[in-house]
Amino acid sequence: MKRIFALALLFSITTHTLQAQTAKKLKKIISLTIPGESGSNAGSVVWHPVLKKYYTSMIGNASYEMAIFDAKGKLTEDELFAEYDYRGMWYNPAAKRIEFNCYDSAGWGHFVLDGRGKITDKVIDHEGMYQPDNQAVGVCDATGKKILFLNTDYEVVAYNAKTGQYETTISKIYAGCKTKNEADALELEEEATRWENRNKSCVQYTGLPKAEFAILNTDAHSIELYNQKTGLLTGTYTIPENIAVYPNFNFSYSNGTWWFFNKEERTWAGCK
């Protein structure tokens, strides 16, 4: 009986390990096209779980277009403009609102929405620099208490969601490393080379156990999942070949969906 149990346990562990190491394939399920012609990059796609709407914006200038879509990807409002030069944008479950961080020292803020999801005001809550560098794209953790950024040392750093103040470094992302020995042997020059083919503007927060952080690998055309405690690679998702990917910005995660912005078409492709 003990032998049967041991064999069953070994099979379960082996199967789990194989599943973790096998790249899962994503499939496009939805598109969001931002109207207009200004700008070339987009920052984030945000899902409002109560209003059932997606919010997104071009980034790079306060005069660029932004857009709101329903759950099926239909544009719900025309001639909508950013008014701020956004970088990150997220739904904060603790504050129950959509928040954002701007370029450089332009600060953090939030949207005021009416019952239909229309933006009635945009408020700056923290004026100044509350991020590791001027181009950093912020994301929110599952609790809504911390805003996360990827810094120039390839570390995931956390800022207090209420005060905007830096709190802690959660972990360093060891690009492509699956073991501690591999991470320890990583030379600085090799590390920089590895990040040439990875999106350095942002880290995505998934909330998945032992795969909390996600990095876009543009060379491998994949999403890499990393353990927040160790910073080690634990799994991957393969992106469809016809989906455009870039080394900066234009990558997001919300509503259980991975988003990739095509600069030529001004369209977010949502994949699951």
For residue 67, being part of any structural domain is answered with yes
Element holding 103 (H helix, E strand): none
* Backbone angles phi and psi of 245, in degrees to 5: -135, 150
Confidence of residue 23 (pLDDT cuts 50, 70, 90): confident
Closest CA to 86 of 72, 71, 106, 116: 106
Q: Render pLDDT for 234-261 as a digit per residue (tens, 0 to 9).
A: 999 999 999 999 999 999 999 999 999 9
Confidence of residue 115 (pLDDT cuts 50, 70, 90): very high
For residue 17, pLDDT over 90 is answered with: no
Return the ∠ at Cα 205 (arms to 200 and 210), rounded to 5°.
110
Residues paired with residue 92 on neighbouring β-strands, in sequence order: 97
Closest CA to 77 of 107, 44, 116, 48: 116
Q: Percent of the chain beyond pLDDT 90?
A: 90
Range of the domain at 146: 24-271
Q: Render pLDDT for 157-181 as a digit per residue (tens, 0 to 9).
A: 999 999 999 999 999 999 999 999 9
For residue 2, being part of any structural domain is answered with no
Q: Which pair of structure tokens corresponds to residue 2?
A: 């003990």
Average pLDDT over residues 178-200: 95
Distance of CA 4 to the CA centre of its chain: 44
pTM here is: 0.91
For residue 243, being part of any structural domain is answered with yes
Q: Which pair of structure tokens corresponds to residue 185?
A: 């042997």
For residue 9, being part of any structural domain is answered with no
For residue 63, being part of any structural domain is answered with yes
For residue 35, being part of any structural domain is answered with yes
For residue 269, pLDDT over 60 is answered with: yes
Residue 95 CA to residue 81 CA, distance in Å, equals 24
For residue 49, being part of any structural domain is answered with yes
| Number of residues that make up the chain | 272
For residue 183, pLDDT over 90 is answered with: yes
Q: Render pLDDT for 49-58 as a digit per residue (tens, 0 to 9).
A: 999 999 999 9
For residue 17, being part of any structural domain is answered with no
The CATH code of the domain that includes 236 is 2.115.10
Closest CA to 136 of 83, 100, 84: 100
| Structural domains in the chain (count) | 1
In contact, 226 and 233? CB cutoff 8 Å: yes
